[in-house]
Amino acid sequence: MKVKNSSNWSESLVQAAEYVERPESQLKVMWETLRQNKAAVVGLIIIGLLVLIALTVWGSELMGKQILPYDPNYSDMSESFIPPNASHWFGTDQLGRDMFSRILAGTKISLFVGVAAVAISLTVGVILGAIAGYRGGKTDTFIMRLMDMMLAIPSILLAIAFMAALGKGLDKAIIAIGLVSIPEYARIVRGSILSVKENDFVQAAKVIGNRSSRIIYKHILPNVISVIVVRATLGISSAVLDTAALGFLGLGVQPPFAEWGDMLGRARGFIFTAPYTLIFPGIAITITVLAFNLLGDGLRDAIDPKSRIK
Amino acid sequence: MLKYIIKRILMLIPVLLGVSIIVFLIMRVLSPDPAPIVLGQHATQQAVEAWRQANGLNDPIYLQYFHYLQGALTGDLGTSYYTKSPVTKEILARFPATIELAVVAIILASFFGILIGVISAVKKNSIFDNAGMFLALIGVSMPIFWLGILLIIFFSGYLHWLPSNGRINPLLEPIRVTGFYLVDSLVTGNMNSFKDALQHIILPASALAMYSMAIITRMTRSSMLDTLQQDYIRTARAKGIEEGRVIIRHALRNGLIPIITVIGLQLGSLLGGAVLTETVFSWPGIGAYTVACILKSDFPVVQGVVLLVATIFVLMNLLVDVIYGFLDPRIKYSKKEV
């Protein structure tokens, strides 16, 4: 009887605690605060536009329709290095391809790599961080020391080394960029879990005999989700930058596909003769990264109780 | 304090061992066989075998790592597959260029970062604050290499003010004392060399500094906003101390701890950023060289460089922690905290 009572008590405690801190409410409060942050809303609008461009380009490719002003991969040497004008808004590159069309087409690749790389680092990082934080002890030490080792190597060097090992190409770039960011997520998730773990509702869930994986998934992760969302948003911006860096070094997406970093890398030789070929891809990268940074900063402020009170 | 430092240094050993294992695994297990790359596509099977044998690549992997570690502990990082010269020599020849670039960059980043950060905090919500924060936002959003390209287009191509590549005019190279051209030319009193080296370093250092400057600006602003609200600042003002002195001696000094952390961490990440900056500006440092070595599978060099960079990075973190103790006497390094 006594045991049953205690179980009832724990059950209601878990429910009460979850009612107070249920994930929807956390994300909802985050959204409400975010809406009042002008910079973050601007970031969100830009991201919306970029996604729209990427989806339109992708959709038109799937349907075999030409929606861009020119075929981004069609080269005509007689048209090379035409400065920006009415018919080629951003000019043409060394192979006579329309820069405007290539930059629009590049949106798809950059966003795709950014999101896919973050998906990899997020999944692996959250799992490792959750195990380390929840289990503690030797498991924690082992995982976190491994993360420290990875963090001690500059991420761009590590990514290049992975690329050298795996080979060039879009899929490999995604894996390399995803792998090098794992430690950041693992650290954040571990830290958040350590702070949530000792809460009564987690203890209560433990007492009523829930499995560890269930406690992590159902009771702990929803409470650290906002921190993860912020990190992932900022993570996309660094993934876009890393993609561009690998592309610039000639390791990322291979020709003829349009990728902003690769466009910059290949136009480098014409820096004094056709500088405009180096201006627009850079603007595209900066705007994309800026948008995710604005949104990420806004989200971070939104989950910070101090700024919420303000 | 000394005990704490020794303990921390001892703790670095497993981290660095781990780093060496990670790099070893990536380069020797995951990477393709370097023999055809080094010897060329048309090398005969015998030549490839002989080369692998000579470079110890036919040994079991754990034995290869053991040999590598044995050498590394005695300061022998192996020899480059291409130049055949010792890796330590290859690194030492290029390292001063990278360090010089990183140091100038961190000086620029710290100076402007703290300056803009302090102004933004003091003139909160003014046009200066907004401009400073916008600059910081652009700084973290702009690819380093693109900023480098823009600087070249504008200052070298358009204005013809500064050189776009290299470290110095080869005819003006100063006598080697430290390997840092700015220092060497000053020490030997060669002002022409100093001026030329300075002109060469301004653009790459500015490009490299931008990201760190943005981070330092943001950190300085938020740290200063915190300290400016403290009671002792009000007390200082009430005592009639001049505002500039209150800001620098009372607020900035107390707000420095988080700023120092960020600067320390940035110095480590600058070495990573140098990879791209050096490529853009054809800077003869370790970054661009490492990329080239990774691409042509020159394992010994890559392992050496990564190990060196990782060592510097973890030592910088340690240094930051030690500086804390000096800046804030309240921080004690007790046994428990270690």
pLDDT digits (tens, 9 = 90+) for A78-110: 877 888 888 888 888 888 888 898 999 999 999
CA B305/CA B89 separation, integer angstroms:
11
Which whole number is the average pLDDT over B122-134? 92
Structure tokens at A306: 């101090």
Q: Which long-range contacts (CB under 8 A, 24 or more apart) does A267-270 make?
A: A267/A93, A267/A94, A268/B149, A268/B280, A270/A81, A270/A94
Residue B338: its pLDDT value, please?
38
Q: How far is A81 from chain B (nearest CA, A)?
A: 16
Q: Is B273 close to A275, i.e. CB distance below 8 A?
A: no
Does residue B50 surpass a pLDDT of 90? no
Query: What residues in B contact A146, CB-CB < 8 Å?
Result: 18
Q: Is B143 close to A286, i.e. CB distance below 8 A?
A: yes
Residue B82: its pLDDT value, please?
87
Residue A23: its pLDDT value, please?
53
Cα torsion A205, A208, A212, A214: sign: negative
- Structure-model confidence comparison of residues A46 and B52, the more confident one: A46
Residue A306: its pLDDT value, please?
57
pLDDT digits (tens, 9 = 90+) for B271-306: 888 889 999 999 999 988 988 888 888 888 888 888
Nearest by CB to residue A161, choosing from B157, B302, B313, is B302
Nearest by CB to residue A285, choosing from B138, B146, B275, is B146
Does residue B217 surpass a pLDDT of 90? yes
pLDDT digits (tens, 9 = 90+) for A124-159: 999 999 899 888 889 998 998 889 888 888 888 888
Which whole number is the average pLDDT over B165-174? 88
Instruction: Look over chain B and give the mean of its residue pLDDT values, rounded to a whole number.
Output: 87
Query: What residues in A contact B279, CB-CB < 8 Å?
Result: 248-249
Residue B272: its pLDDT value, please?
80
Cα maximum dimension of chain B:
85
Residue B333: its pLDDT value, please?
55
- Structure-model confidence comparison of residues B96 and A207, the more confident one: B96
Question: Which residues of chain A approach chain B closer than 8 Å at the C-beta?
Answer: 145-146, 148-150, 152-157, 160-162, 164-167, 237, 241, 244-245, 248-249, 251, 261, 264, 268, 271-272, 275, 278-279, 281-282, 285-286, 289-290, 293-294
Query: What residues in B contact A272, CB-CB < 8 Å?
Result: 153, 156-157
Q: What percent of chain A has pLDDT over 90?
A: 31
Which whole number is the average pLDDT over B313-326? 80
CB distance A129 to A121 below 8 Å: no
Residue A1: its pLDDT value, please?
40
CA A261/CA A163 separation, integer angstroms:
15
Residue B275: its pLDDT value, please?
87
Structure tokens at A17: 């605690």
Q: Which of A163-167, A240-244, B180-184, B289-293 has the lowest mean pLDDT?
A: A163-167
Structure tokens at B259: 């700023």
Query: What residues in B contact A154, CB-CB < 8 Å?
Result: 268-269, 271-273, 275, 309, 313
Residues 278-317 of B with CB under 8 A from A: 279-280, 290-291, 294-295, 297, 302, 305-306, 309-310, 313-314
Q: What percent of chain B has pLDDT over 70?
A: 96
Q: Is B142 close to A286, i.e. CB distance below 8 A?
A: yes
Q: pLDDT-derived band of residue A25, with 50, 70 and 90 as boundaries?
A: low
Of B172, B177, B226, B218, give the one whose Cα is nearest residue B196. Answer: B172
Residue A4: its pLDDT value, please?
47
Q: pLDDT-derived band of residue B336, with 50, 70 and 90 as boundaries?
A: very low
Does residue A19 surpass a pLDDT of 60? no
Of B286, B279, B266, B248, give the one whose Cα is nearest residue B117. Answer: B248
Which whole number is the average pLDDT over A9-36? 67
Residue B213: its pLDDT value, please?
94
pLDDT digits (tens, 9 = 90+) for A267-287: 888 888 888 899 999 999 999
Q: Which of A129-138, A234-243, B130-139, B266-275 has the lowest mean pLDDT?
A: B266-275
Nearest by CB to residue A162, choosing from B26, B153, B275, is B26
pLDDT digits (tens, 9 = 90+) for B300-318: 888 888 888 888 888 888 8
Residue A166: its pLDDT value, please?
84
- Structure-model confidence comparison of residues A180 and A21, the more confident one: A180
- Total Cβ atoms within 10 A of residue A275: 18
Residue A118: its pLDDT value, please?
95
Q: Which of B33, B146, B318 to mutate to test the interface with A (most CBs of A within 10 A)?
A: B146
User: Can you give the C-alpha Rg of chain B in angstroms?
Assistant: 24
Instruction: Mark residue A97 as left, alpha or beta (left: phi above 0; alpha: psi -120 to 50; beta: remaining).
Output: beta
Peptide bond into A256 cis (omega under 30): yes
Residue A22: its pLDDT value, please?
55
Residue A307: its pLDDT value, please?
52
Residue B3: its pLDDT value, please?
82
pLDDT digits (tens, 9 = 90+) for B19-42: 888 888 888 888 878 888 888 878
pLDDT digits (tens, 9 = 90+) for B4-16: 788 888 888 888 8
Comparing alpha-carbon positions, the chain B residue that sits nearest to A275 is: B153
Does residue A5 surpass a pLDDT of 60? no
